[in-house]
Amino acid sequence: MIPELKKPISVSKAKVLLPLAIVLMALAFSCTRQAEEKDPVDRSTIKIGYFGDLTGPNYNFGKSAINGVLMVADEVNQAGGIRGRRIDVVIEDDRGSPEEAARLTAKLIDQDNVIAIIAGGTSGNSLAAAPKAQSSHIPFISPSSTDPAVTQAGDYIFRACFVDSFQGEVMARFAANTLKAQKAAIIFDFNSPYGRGLTDYFELSFAKFGGRIVSKQSYTQGDEDFKGQLSSIRAAEPDVIYIPGYYSDVTAIAKQARMIGLTQPLLGGDGWDAPELWQLGGDALNGSYITTHYSVDDPSPAIQMFVESYKQRYGNLLPDAHAALAYDATRLLVDAITRAGTTNGDKVRDALAQTKNFPGVTGLITINADRNAVKPAVVLKLQDAKFIYQETIHPQIATPSPSPSPSPTKKRRTL
């Protein structure tokens, strides 16, 4: 009996697998389109979509950002919601992949019926997601995509941060005027639009301030050994070294730079601004300067209140720039929905576009005609596991222009 039984078993196994596959397909295709119309006066929740790098090399950006978004949602809900409607945040993880970001945008809009999306920690992901948000007329706010191209993707695409051109220019100005640097070296992530953007604008502005780039080296994210590039930088004897990368790579570069005897100040951008920076980099980072969106040490009451409640919520964690930007992006959206008095995508978009002097924790935010946030940048000094506030640099004519034409005379410095 037993050997005879064997055959039918293997047959049934194959027969189980195939229907299983068919059922999988059927499951995926069988759902019907949901009705999209909403009651004019409803008490339903307002759904906001979020996706970002919750896993992957820059997972910290996503983690911080989601903290910021959820904090606004809770604050608004505790205060009774927007005109009585609660906010619900739908969270997805894009694993840092542009392809995934595009798919998630479709999913959030179509399956979860979100009325707006706050997403795209990195510029590549925002660019991939933009066409879908644009064609569905869903406002899309990127908290931290600094590539100028992002908001050019359509008139439903906004950002809550300054653009690369402004940040590169601010650092060049700081290096030339405050640090009195004459010669600068650059080492940048070749694959990332962020690194390349900052490099281009730093180079341009630094030359305008009378400085000279003596060495320009590149790496790609995930590289382990930077000694070759750093050695040629050492040979060029720069006054400062600009490293516009993300924290995971930057810390390795900083350590190896100190190892081979480079003692110059290292300069960086908001990609450095993560709580993990000190764990990974340690003392090698002492004496470095970064440009970023805000400082937790800023004495202004709005910032201190934000920092306090963030610390309370997330177990004494200090909010980094990504948390603050996501917080501001979400509040910009809440403000726009409140002003529009509806969740209709077109109306919310119009309200967002009209935002003027919105008091965010990262400064007064005005949305300009290119849907970019016009706002100040701060320079911080890194010393003994602390970010020490140096100065705030304001844009004056209010357009950090996306074209490579940084004009130093337009900038007013405080402090």
Partner 1 sequence: MPTFIKRILGLVIVVFLLVAVNAWMGREGLFGFGLPYYYAEILNLTGISIILAVSLNLITGFTGQFSIGHAGFMAVGAYASVFMTVYYSDSAEQWLTSLLGATLAQSLVFLGVIIVGALVAALAGLVVGIPSLRLRGDYLAIVTLGFAEIIRIVILNIDRVGGATGFRGRVPPWDGRLIIPAYANFIWIGGFAIITIVVVYNIVNSDVGRALISIREDELASEAMGVNTTRYKVIAFVISSSFAGIAGALFGHFRQFLHTNDFQFIRSIEIIIMIVLGGMGSITGAVLGAIVITILPELLRKLPGDLYGYRLVIYSALLILIMLTRPQGVMGAKEFGISWLKRAQRRPEGDKPIGEKGVPIAQQSTSPNLDQPKEIEHR
Is 24 a binder of partner 1 (CB under 8 A)? yes
> What is the closest distance, in whole angstroms, from the C-beta atom of residue 96 to partner 1 in the complex?
8
Residues that contact partner 1, how many (by CB under 8 A): 47
Please tell me the distance from the alpha carbon of residue 73 to that of residue 118, in angstroms, as a whole number.
12
Is residue 377 within 8 Å of residue 269, measured between CB atoms?
A: no
| Stretch touching partner 1 by CB under 8 A, among 13-21, 75-83, 278-286, 341-349 | 13-21
In order of 214, 278, 307, 380, the CA distances from 255 in angstroms are 21, 11, 30, 19
Instruction: Please identify, using beta-carbon distances, which residue of 42 and 99 lies nearer to partner 1.
Output: 99
Q: Which of 77, 182, 191, 390 touches partner 1 (CB under 8 A)?
A: 191
Is 41 a binder of partner 1 (CB under 8 A)? no
Is 235 a binder of partner 1 (CB under 8 A)? no
Please tell me the distance from the alpha carbon of residue 116 to that of residue 188, in angstroms, as a whole number.
34
Instruction: Please identify, using beta-carbon distances, which residue of 124 and 400 lies nearer to partner 1.
Output: 124
Report the DSSP beta bridge partners of residue 188. Answer: 218
Is 405 a binder of partner 1 (CB under 8 A)? no
Would you mind telling me the total number of residues written for the chain in this entry?
Answer: 415
Sheet harboring 358-360: ordered strands across? 358-360, 363-367, 373-374
Q: Which of 38, 42, 43, 99 touches partner 1 (CB under 8 A)?
A: 99
The helix or strand, by DSSP H or E, that contains position 389, with its residue range, turns out to be strand 386-394
List the structure tokens of 376: 């100040």
> What is the closest distance, in whole angstroms, from the C-beta atom of residue 127 to partner 1 in the complex?
5
Is 37 a binder of partner 1 (CB under 8 A)? no
DSSP E strands in 252-369: the ranges are: 266-268, 288-292, 358-360, 363-367
CA dihedral 158, 161, 163, 166 (to 10 degrees): 140
| Stretch touching partner 1 by CB under 8 A, among 60-68, 93-101, 168-176, 278-286 | 93-101
Is 1 a binder of partner 1 (CB under 8 A)? no
> What is the closest distance, in whole angstroms, from the C-beta atom of residue 28 to partner 1 in the complex?
5
Is residue 117 within 8 Å of residue 109, measured between CB atoms?
A: yes
> What is the closest distance, in whole angstroms, from the C-beta atom of residue 415 to partner 1 in the complex?
34
User: Would strands 288-292 and 377-383 be described as parallel, antiparallel, or unpaired?
Assistant: antiparallel
Question: Cβ-count burial of 356 within 10 angstroms (0-12 exposed, 13-18 middle, 19+ buried)?
Answer: exposed
Please give the single-letter amino acid code of residue 119: A
Instruction: Please identify, using beta-carbon distances, which residue of 77 and 97 lies nearer to partner 1.
Output: 97
Is 97 a binder of partner 1 (CB under 8 A)? yes
> What is the closest distance, in whole angstroms, from the C-beta atom of residue 196 to partner 1 in the complex?
5
In order of 33, 71, 91, the CA distances from 364 in angstroms are 42, 20, 28
Q: Which of 38, 43, 83, 111 touches partner 1 (CB under 8 A)?
A: 111
Is 23 a binder of partner 1 (CB under 8 A)? no
Which residues make up the interface to partner 1 (CB under 8 A)?
Answer: 4, 7-8, 11, 14-15, 17-18, 21, 24-25, 27-29, 31-34, 55, 92, 95-99, 102-103, 106-107, 109-111, 123-124, 127-128, 130-131, 147, 149, 153, 190-193, 195-196
